[in-house]
Structure 1
């Protein structure tokens, strides 16, 4: 507590926090289960509270229109956020999630595994010849875009444009979007809506074996999905299918480069890869926090948070809670159990979680099979212009097996 008797304040834009938030998280957890974010908003710091609140019906994800206008400004991006399943509560959230989840079921992803393996090999084969690569540019971004585009039926010639606009839209997932990013977000929403809307018109005339065709069938069956709901949630599903995976892969490489003993352990036992991916997710969660609107008063510790306030569930802090994880600041690819909260929980469990895990497992399996050594070949550069824990550059020196 500070001199006023209030919990300490958390500044997400503090340069020290942007570089390494975990010491600050530790101080906040030690001070109590809540911290102050800003006017009318509180952060939840501890694992047990985050887990419980992820499933608490007194919290909602559907924010009023004014909230989105404050966050990103009035315009297409604000309207987009009001329609996507991420910011909808039951029954609309349940309806949208049921219809959109068809592209990401474990069965669908398992059928894609051969394609994912071939794509990883195609993307990294040049690195084996040249002896170097930048993981971010040459693997982490193109791989999930190719995979999710295939799932959705987006043709190859549009992949680069769709990725560019999805990345610009990604910046708009910040609580307060910087002024210089707002126009780009609005423009990208308009472009993506027009492009996906055009693909839907094509699928109405000639259905295929892809997500867009499946959604149109649901619409035709009277499931009350409007054209705009299909378009906006397809755009969101594309984003959900690649953004977390990008940062999971790059954060995983960065973590291993900084913990060579763990990289050596993986090489000695490739069967540890699935557990290692879970540890990458815990150690450096791509999404560090998620906001919920308090619909009924909620007591956390000794403080009651009133209705109308915002609670930020601090996933990154929960994943480093000493009460749950032994030595949380150390990467441990053998960690078991590993109850991290990176993919959320309850009804808002990340739609693309199984796909992200599968792609990451394929990538690190490839590295262990096809290389004899992977070393850092330059500075690891953080991506500062994003709401995610991300890298702009992860340069590698690679030797083939």
Structure 2
């Protein structure tokens, strides 16, 4: 199939001058996109995607464009309604930092960066270690766990709740809404998922808004209190609705990437027992291993950008108003940038992957995701003497996110 795609891509380009078409929802792509990415990169720097949109396939172009000010993230309201519908989810996208451009993006980022600081995350690390230990404790008795439902999903939700000062008793109430919120971030939200996504936004807005009102009277050291107190050099502050909607966004940004990073990392180690043995023999490799998991199977496969003016990619001019999908997953496997890119190598020293984006939209939660993943893998290897597959892993079928529904693991203390 993939050889056929490569041949077809070359024939299509030769006959029409048009790049090949890429369907991120193709079942073969959902199962394993990387052979298809290789064929697309070989065909050229661009591929065709939806109406008025192009995919960028090669590392050099993606790395340049992710920092290019001619590309923006602030899409028209009609785009969000088309993507997520006319309800709360479509409205919510218009106010979060992910979809704002300068100058508003700069103001929001400066204020949120002060609240979402590495120092705050570092102070939280002992609690993260305790959370992972507690989540893994049942597996020491049962001899197995699911890397998704028992670790990769609950941990980031617990961490984001702790960051925001949300009582542990409420974590179980929040968890299903956090899961439904992730449905809103699909490139096109299926009609069946839109009511759940809208309910999640509405419920989380109400819940966090009530907590924020209490923090005004009794501030603490949590993320919401820090967002309330943050001011920039001009004395600007975040208003109530900005804090609430960006705190709701933090539930997605704070858990979705981390969930997928931990799940795909566990799956990768189970598929590569030599790398698992190497990491067990030298735990100091854990930070490098986390970076390699991010590169090898990027949790977010692509990000959308809107061309604010004409720009060139390869020998083609992308007109203003067109959408570019920067294919991070393809860029991270580009052999022009990475030696043996299809090999998992936890000793890889030079690893400038693009999984957290770049430029002004570089992921604010990247530091937190790295800390959580490092703690998770360190604790896994310290707690269990063996980690082996307990059955087949099952993928989630989403063209934007590389995620798992289940990764069963057998363990021995």
- 5 Å-filtered alignment, 1:9-20, equals 9-20=21-32
Deviation for aligned residue 1:217: 2.4
Equivalent residue, structure 2, for 1:338: 351
Superposed, which structure 2 residues align to 1:2-401 within 5 Å?
A: 2=12, 3-218=15-230, 223-384=236-397, 387-400=400-413
Q: Normalising by the residue count of structure 1, what TM-score does the alignment of the two structures yield?
A: 0.97
CA contact (8 A) 1:272 1:333 kept: yes
Give the alignment's TM-score, normalised by structure 2. Answer: 0.94
Does the aligned pair in 2 maintain the 1:100–1:237 contact within 8 Å?
no
Aligned length in residues: 400
Moved more, 104-113 or 345-354: 104-113
Q: Deviations over 1:70-118 (max 9, x none)?
A: 1111121111001000000011111111222234322211111111111
- Say which SS state the counterpart of residue 282 (structure 1) adopts: helix
Structure 1 unaligned residues grouped into runs of 5+: none
Residues 295 and 353 in structure 2, CA contact (< 8 A), matched pair in contact too:
yes
Q: How far apart are residue 386 of structure 1 and its match?
A: 7.4
Decide which moves more: 5-14 or 265-274: 265-274
CA distance in 2, matches of 1:208, 1:104: 14
Question: What SS class does the counterpart of residue 27 from structure 1 fall into?
Answer: helix
**Structure 2: distance between partners of 1:103 and 1:133:** 35
Please report the RMSD computed on the Cα atoms of aligned residues, expressed in angstroms. Answer: 1.5
User: Offset of 1:121 from its aligned partner?
Assistant: 0.8
Q: Cα deviations across residues 261-305 of structure 1 (Å, max 9, x unaligned)?
A: 111111121111110000000011110000000001110110000
Contact 2:20 2:43 in 1 (8 A): yes
Tell me the CA shift for residue 225 of structure 1: 2.3
What is the CA distance between 1:191 and its match in structure 2? 0.8
Change (3 A) 1:369 1:218: closer
Does 301-310 or 367-376 show the bigger shift? 367-376
**Structure 1 residue runs of 4 or more that deviate by more than 3 Å after TM superposition:** 218-222
- Deviations for 1:45-77, whole angstroms, at most 9, x for unmatched residues? 000101100110100000001111111111211
